[in-house]
Amino acid sequence: MFAKLLKYDLRSVFKYWWIAAVSSAALTVIGGFCINIINVDYTEYHAIYTFAIIGLVLCIIGLVIPPVLTEVLILVRIYKHFFTDEGYLTFTLPVKKSQLINSKILMSLIFNILTILVLGISVFVMLGIGLPDIVFDKKLWVDIISTINNVIKAIGIGFTVTYIAEVIVLFIASLLMSTLTLFACLTVAAVITRKHKILVAIAIYYGASSILSGIIQFIMIDGSFLNVFEKIGALGEGPQKLCFAMILLVIIGFIMTISAGIHFLQSWLFERKLNLD
C-alpha cells in the first residue's frame, strides 16, 4: 500500500514539476548561447551584447524557479492531501498514518534530489554551450582527475570512501530535516488554527528556523571556543583524518536526531491532536 501511496504522490507533483524542469533545460540552451555571445568581442555589437546580457540574466532567474517551484508543489500536495477537505478522504484510506507521512517525506526527498540533478545538468549544459573551450578542454578534465587522484592519495582510499559516504548521508539528512521542518510547521499550524493555516505555518517555519540556526550557531561558536580545529591541526596525520570523519559523524548524528525528533512530533500530532472539523 505504501508503494501505491508513493506512486500517487509522485504522479501528483510530477504533473507540474516536469514543466519547470523542461523550461529550465530550454532556458539553459538559450543561456549558453548568450554566454557564447558575451564571450566574443562585442565592441561592434552593442545591441547584440545587451540582448545577450538580458537573456542571460533571465535564464539565471529561470534557473532559480525549479527549486522554489518544487518546494511549493510539495507543500501544496501535503496541504491539500491532509489539511483541506481532501484530508477527510485521505484519513479513511486503509493505511497507517505513519505510512501517509513517510510517503510524503520520501516523495519530497525524491523531488529535491531530482531538482538538484536537473539544476546540475542545466548548469553544465549552459556552460558547455557558452564556454565550450573551457568545459570541453581536455586539460581541464585531466587537471580535475589529477587533483582528485592527488587528494585520494593524500587522504587514503579508506578515508576517502568514508568521507564520501558521510557527505552523501549529510546531504540526504539535511534535505530530510528541511522537508520535515516544513511539514511539521504545516501540521502545527493546522492543529492550532482553523483559518489562515499557510500564513501561520510560514510564521512558525521562520520561528523554528531561527531557533534551529541559533542552536547550531551556538554549538559552532562553542566549538571555536574550544579551539577544536587548532587542536586537531596539532595532531598527527592519521588522528587528524579520524577526527574529521568523527566531526562529520557528529554533525550527521545531530541533524538526524533533530529530524527524527521532528518526525516524532509530526506523528504524535497526526495521531493525537489533528482535528479537521
Can you list the alpha helix ranges (DSSP code H) found in the chain?
A: 2-39, 46-83, 86-90, 97-130, 132-135, 138-155, 157-192, 197-225, 228-233, 237-268
Residue 213 lies near other proteins (rule: CB under 8 A): no
Residue 75 lies near other proteins (rule: CB under 8 A): no
Minimum CB separation from other proteins for residue 207, in Å?
Answer: 22
Interacting residue with other proteins among 4, 7, 11, 40 (CB under 8 A): 40
Minimum CB separation from other proteins for residue 113, in Å?
Answer: 19
Q: Tell me which stretch binds other proteins (CB under 8 A): 30-38, 79-87, 119-127, 187-195.
A: 30-38
How far apart CA 168 and CA 162 sit, in angstroms, is: 10
Minimum CB separation from other proteins for residue 123, in Å?
Answer: 18
Residues 6+ away with beta carbon under 8 Å from 170 = 248, 251, 252, 255
* Backbone dihedral angles phi then psi of residue 145, each to the nearest 5 degrees: -60, -40
Q: How many CB atoms lie within 10 A of CB 232?
A: 16
Amino acid present at 113: I
Q: Tell me which stretch binds other proteins (CB under 8 A): 32-40, 82-90, 190-198, 203-211.
A: 32-40
Q: How many CA atoms lie within 13 A of 240 on its CB side?
A: 12
Residues near other proteins (CB under 8 A), total: 60
Minimum CB separation from other proteins for residue 196, in Å?
Answer: 27
Cell of 97: 498514518
Interacting residue with other proteins among 22, 145, 164, 203 (CB under 8 A): 145
How far apart CA 72 and CA 79 sit, in angstroms, is: 10
Residue 160 lies near other proteins (rule: CB under 8 A): no
Q: Tell me which stretch binds other proteins (CB under 8 A): 22-30, 117-125, 191-199, 205-213.
A: 22-30
Residue 217 lies near other proteins (rule: CB under 8 A): no
Residue 96 lies near other proteins (rule: CB under 8 A): yes
- Chain centre to alpha carbon of residue 273: 29
Q: Tell me which stretch binds other proteins (CB under 8 A): 63-71, 73-81, 112-120, 234-242.
A: 234-242
Minimum CB separation from other proteins for residue 159, in Å?
Answer: 14
Minimum CB separation from other proteins for residue 139, in Å?
Answer: 6
Residue 157 lies near other proteins (rule: CB under 8 A): no
How far apart CA 167 and CA 188 sit, in angstroms, is: 31
Nearer to other proteins, 12 or 39 (CB): 39
Spatial CA neighbour of 243 closest among 257, 222, 229, 254: 229
Residues 6+ away with beta carbon under 8 Å from 186 = 75, 78, 79, 82, 83, 197, 198, 201
Binding residues (CB under 8 A) for other proteins: these are 26, 29-30, 33-34, 36-37, 40-42, 44-45, 48, 51-52, 55, 96-98, 102, 133, 138-139, 142-143, 145-146, 149, 219, 222-228, 231-232, 235, 239, 242-243, 246-247, 249-250, 252-257, 259-261, 263-264, 267-268, 271
